[in-house]
Amino acid sequence: MQRNKGNKSKNILIARFSALGDIAMTIPTVYNACRANPDRHFYFLTRHHPASLFINAPENLTVVGVDLENYKGIAGIYRLASSLKVRYGIDYFIDLHDVLRTKLLRTFFTLKGIAWRKINKGRKEKARLTRRKNKHLLPLPTTISRYDDTFRRAGITLADTFSSIFSNMPGGKGAPAAFSSVAPPKKAGEHWLAIAPFAKHRGKVYPLELLDKVVEHFNSKPGERIFVFGFGKNEEEAIDSMCRRYPSVVNMAKARLGLPGELALLSHCDAMLSMDSFNMHLASLVGLRAVSVWGATHPYTGFLGRGQKEEDTVQLDMTCRPCSVFGDKPCIRGDYHCLWGITPRVIIQKIED
């Protein structure tokens, strides 16, 4: 049950539960929808942790964080759909995830007379792009454009005003008090570089032995401060090793600032080095330019960050690339040359450019 034009719905539910990077990419689209439709109220349904990404949200946006453990199975999702309809008066549903949970939500909303639209994720096109033989190596629509398209097909107009979640703050940057526990306010002449060297899957992680050369180079430059991001004990220990060798490095895995504090810090940085990962999308939320390293994955799959430049990507031309949409497949060569073959000098030059 889908409605195209003349959408008069007043209470619109949007759903995206994971992953963090994908949720971060929804924010500009959602904020633009809110600002173009001040007479409507939007509700964004997600898990509790990513709800903290929605900083300086428009007044007509409510972020609904839920614990999905409380809504297990078909009966649980039905209970969730019923409670959302009653509590918020939902009369339209936008599914930006298109997984089993949101498919069930669509089914139950249909039974309740609520119209919906879902994202076209382009699964078949991505499979052709990443298959081992006869790849269709052509750029696909970006995930961001797919989000935008879902709203437009729902008959909901979008503004084009988003530049940063801190655009309404002095200087367009987050408050220094949010990260004062790890760094004093930035001084004139200082250069702040954010580095996010980790990702969920090995096929997206630049080898730390090579990254060390990048850190060594920037550590030697006067006025440089390097913030290295990570999460969990193993990543914290790896960054600690860098801190012992390079005094300009700050271990952000130890800082535990939370997403709002990390975003505030990033808004004061001059550049970021990231993998094809969540952190690249955090940079996009604060208007920070990022040099991104791509191994098993490829920008053609549509996951380059909003506002990021293809000229700032670092990747090797290899017949086996991309072999995966998410970087989770084992390397068919066995050596991950797509990452080991990228020299530190190439990355350094990209950042300095």
> Do 149 and 199 lie in a common domain?
no
What is the number of domains present in the chain? 2
Say whether both 134 and 225 belong to one domain. Answer: no
Q: In what order do the strands lie in the sheet with 41-47?
A: 61-66, 41-47, 11-15, 92-95, 115-118
**Residue ending a domain, choose from 153, 176, 210:** 153
Query: Reduced to 3 states, what is the DSSP secondary structure of residue 140?
Result: coil
Do 224 and 78 belong to one domain? no
Whether the per-residue pLDDT at 245 is higher than 80: the answer is yes
List the beta strands (DSSP E) in 278-324: 290-293, 313-314
**Neighbouring residues of 20: CB distance < 8 A, sequence distance ≥ 6:** 49, 50, 53, 278, 281
Domain boundary pick from 153, 168, 196? 153
Query: Where in the sequence is the domain holding 97, given as residue range(s)?
Result: 11-153
- Model confidence band, residue 2 (pLDDT cutoffs 50, 70, 90): low
**136 and 59 in one domain?**
yes
Tokens standing for residue 91 = 């009369």
226-242 confidence digits (pLDDT tens): 999 999 999 999 999 99
Both 141 and 259 in a single domain?
A: no
CATH number at residue 257: 3.40.50.2000
Residue 181: pLDDT band by 50, 70, 90 thresholds?
very high
- The answer as to whether 279 is a domain residue is yes
pLDDT bracket for residue 130 (50, 70, 90): very high
Structure tokens that stand for 338 in this block: 């797509």
Whether residue 135 is found in the same domain as residue 235 = no
Question: Among candidates 308, 303, 301, which has minimal Cα distance to 285?
Answer: 308
Residue 126 lies in a domain: yes
Please spell the DSSP secondary structure of 219-235, one letter per residue.
HTSTTEEEEE---SHHH
The overall pTM is greater than 0.85: yes
Q: Note whether 138 and 267 are same-domain residues.
A: no
- Kindly report, residue by residue over 44-88, the tens digit of the pLDDT: 999 999 999 999 999 999 999 999 999 999 999 999 999 999 999
Q: Taking Cα atoms as reference points, which of 98, 186, 174, 130 lies closest to residue 302? A: 130
Q: For residue 2, is it within any domain? A: no
Give me the mean pLDDT over the 16-32 stretch: 97
Contact of 298 with 304, CB cutoff 8 Å:
no
